[in-house]
């Protein structure tokens, strides 16, 4: 049953979750329904994280379970449908002058396991590299990460470069990192800021028109 699968993932029972997914496939369940159950489970995990019932290990492990189930389910999906499953494209990176990667890596990971195609440019990324990648992959969203206070200027420079290249009205821009606030968002000229990985996922889903199911 899908509810059992959702509970197994949400309760971090990785072995049971994968077994249930395999069992459901054998009994003829639609692979897309299984993946949809996984998404619901991750939303529960995200909610528990926000409520401080769960912490980073659970967030990461939940993503790992989702990856394992995806590996089981994907061969059963038609290739093109599997590709269609991506919710949207995101170009992501830590801005120039800042090399913090832990927070950025976790956000990228969570966006990927939640169904986004993420192009991770790494750390200390110059604004022109963001522009190049936007030109190449035509993303829906750009994510700028920065932990240091002097990353704020780099965020602004990057947004300005995207604007100058003529892509500003084609992408939504989110920023995040240790000391980022609403004021920094306004200063940089971004569309929104996220406090953590789950906030980034919620924001990205909202921007591509996918509603979160769990309250």
Partner 1 sequence: MLTIKENLMETINGGNPDRFVKQFEFMDIIYETPLDRFCEPGKEVTNNWGITFRWPEGQIGQFPVHDDEHKVLKDITEWRKYVKAPVITTADEDWAAAVKHANSVDRSEKFATAFYAPGIFEMTHHLMGMEDALTAFYEEPEAMHELIDYITEYELAFANEIVNRLHPDAVFHHDDWGSQRSSFMSPAMFEEFILPAYKKVYGFYKDNGVELIVHHADCYAANLVPYMIEMGVDIWQGVMTTNNTPELIKKYGKQISFMGDLDSGVIDFPDWTQEIIDREVERACRNCGKLYFIPCLTQGGDYSSFPGVYEAVSESIGRMSKKMF
User: Interface residues with partner 1 (CB under 8 A)?
Assistant: 12, 14, 52, 54-58, 60-61, 64, 97-103, 105-106, 109, 124, 148-150, 178-179, 195-196
* Token couple for 177: 């990192």
Q: Using the minimum distance from each CB to partner 1, give the nearer residue, 179 or 213.
A: 179
Q: What secondary structure does DSSP assign to 185-213, as a single string?
A: HHHHT-SEEESSHHHHHHHHHHHTT----
- The token duo for 161 is 């470069």
* Closer by beta carbon to partner 1, 130 or else 152: 152
Q: If you search the block for the tokens 């932990």, which residue do you land on? A: 147
Residue 97 Cβ vs partner 1, minimum distance, rounded to whole Å: 6
Smallest distance, Å, CB 94 to partner 1?
Answer: 11
Query: At its nearest, how many Å lie between partner 1 and the CB of residue 18?
Result: 13
What number of other Cβ atoms are within 10 A of residue 45's Cβ? 26
Q: Please, which residue, 4 or 101, has the CB nearer to partner 1?
A: 101
Closest CA to 46 of 204, 211, 214: 214
Count of C-beta atoms within a 10 Å radius of residue 105: 18
Q: How far is the CB of 64 from partner 1 (least distance, A)?
A: 6
Q: In this complex, which beta carbon is closest to partner 1, that of residue 75 or of residue 122?
A: 122
Minimum distance from CB of 215 to partner 1 (Å)? 21
Task: Give the closest residue to 16 by CA, choosing from 26, 5, 25.
Answer: 5
Rounded Cα distance, 20 and 101, in Å: 34
Q: Which is nearer to partner 1, 98 or 140 (CB)?
A: 98
């Amino acid at each position: 049953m899908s509810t059992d699968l959702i509970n197994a993932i949400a309760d971090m029972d990785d072995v049971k979750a994968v077994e249930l997914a395999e069992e459901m496939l054998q009994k003829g369940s639609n692979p897309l329904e299984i993946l949809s159950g996984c998404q619901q489970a991750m939303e529960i995990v995200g909610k528990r994280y926000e409520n401080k019932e769960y912490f980073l290990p659970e967030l990461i492990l939940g993503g790992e379970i989702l990856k394992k189930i995806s590996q089981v389910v994907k061969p059963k999906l038609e290739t093109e449908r599997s590709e269609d499953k991506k919710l949207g494209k995101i170009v992501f990176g830590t801005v120039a002058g800042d090399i913090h990667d832990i927070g950025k890596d976790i956000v990228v990971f969570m966006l990927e396991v939640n169904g986004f195609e993420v192009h991770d440019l790494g750390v200390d990324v110059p604004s022109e590299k963001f522009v190049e990648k936007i030109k190449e992959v035509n993303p829906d969203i750009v994510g700028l990460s920065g932990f240091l206070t002097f990353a704020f200027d780099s965020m602004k420079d990057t947004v300005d470069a995207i604007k100058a290249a003529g892509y500003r009205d084609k992408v939504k821009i989110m920023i995040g990192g240790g000391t980022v606030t609403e004021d920094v968002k306004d200063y940089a000229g971004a569309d929104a800021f996220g406090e953590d990985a789950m906030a980034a996922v919620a924001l990205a889903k909202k921007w591509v028109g996918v509603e979160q199911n769990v309250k």
